[in-house]
Amino acid sequence: MQIRENISLRQYNTFGIDVRARYFASFARIEEIEEWIERNSSVMRVILGGGSNLLFTRNIDGVVLKNEIMGIEEITEDEHDVYVRAGAGENWHRFVQHCLTRNWAGLENLSLIPGNVGAAPMQNIGAYGVELQEVFNSLSAYHIRERKIHHFTAGDCAFGYRESIFKKQYKNQFIILNVTFRLRKRPVFHTAYGAIREELEKMQVKELSIQAISQAVINIRSSKLPDPSQIGNAGSFFKNPEVSNKKFEMLKKQYPEIPHYPAKVYPNATRVTTNEVKLAAGWLIEQCGWKGVRRGNAGVHAKQALVLVNYGNATGKEIYELSEDVVRSVHKKFGVTLEREVNIL
């Protein structure tokens, strides 16, 4: 493993933030970094995947280790399901497409989500009515301090809304090596969420398929969300907030048109809430006048208020300060506190 010094991380994060790492290395096997970690146990470490769900606000006075563990293999199958293992360094969308070409169902609604496979369970990624936990079987992860591999089931991961045990209790303790998915041989279509049905009609789809749903999702995401290669961003910056029925009824009296839907229950989550109604964070932000606002090179996207963007040379601190102002204004107007979905470093 080659250790490089004083490396810009601009190309390694989708926000395009130009901070520097004191040391940087990539690894394709866990054995490549075991010896280095043992000899440098006191050095700060940042494990990097696709860099699609984080915001760098400072230089990293330590080592950034980029996970490039690759490989996709079919492990086993039964009458109903196929079990597929993917290396944590595999690009997520390419992995989804790999499965779709083999008619393995379950990932089609998660098409075009940026990032790598290893981040998917960490974040419990979700889109258009489907979450990672619904197709998750297990994962293997390396415990940095113990220097040994652990295996996690879905229950062990404590999945919640855009979170898992790796974002809370085990933060910075493990390196995810690979993830095994349980995919269906016979698809169960999810088309009720968002504009999928409308897009399928526009596409003039005669016979529904997982490939058609995937293309509809790609079309919708491409029309609403900026391409990180063109405008720096990390997708949805905020989570959709959850509130009690009592709070929702108060808001509905004042804002009858407020978008809402039932909050999902996560019995194994590290933080189980009693909130029952989920609100649309993008709508709340837009009502506060933030949609399309630009401050120098930092801004709120003109088509989707959930997305904060770097128009050029914004610093991570500038984007973070913008997010702070958004949080404050939403709380002042609605009495609702937004949580960031993006990890801040």
The catalytically annotated residue of 162, 182, 221, 340 is 162
Residue 198 annotated as catalytic: no
Chain-centroid distance of CA 178 in Å reads 17
* Contact between residue 67 and residue 52 where contact means Cβ atoms under 8 Å apart: no
Residue 329 annotated as catalytic: no
Tally helices (H) and strands (E) across the chain: 9, 20
Tokens 């003109």: give the residue: 302
Containing H/E element for 199? helix 196-202
DSSP 3-state assignment of 14? coil
The catalytically annotated residue of 131, 236, 318, 340 is 236
Q: Please, which residues bridge with residue 67 across strands?
A: 27
User: Burial, 207: exposed, middle or buried (Cβ in 10 Å; 0-12, 13-18, 19+)?
Assistant: exposed
> What is the DSSP annotation of 21-49?
EEEEEEESSTHHHHHHHHHTTTS-EEEES
254: which residues sit within 8 A by CB, 6+ positions away?
Answer: none
Q: In whole angstroms, give the CA distance from residue 59 to residue 84.
A: 37
* Contact between residue 69 and residue 29 where contact means Cβ atoms under 8 Å apart: yes
Q: In whole angstroms, give the CA distance from residue 114 to residue 50.
A: 8
DSSP 3-state assignment of 237? coil
Containing H/E element for 208? none
Q: In whole angstroms, give the CA distance from residue 137 to residue 265.
A: 19
Rg (CA), the chain: 20
Residue 162 annotated as catalytic: yes
* Contact between residue 95 and residue 72 where contact means Cβ atoms under 8 Å apart: yes
Quote the tokens at residue 203: 């596409």
Chain-centroid distance of CA 299 in Å reads 20
Annotated catalytic residues are 162, 236, 341
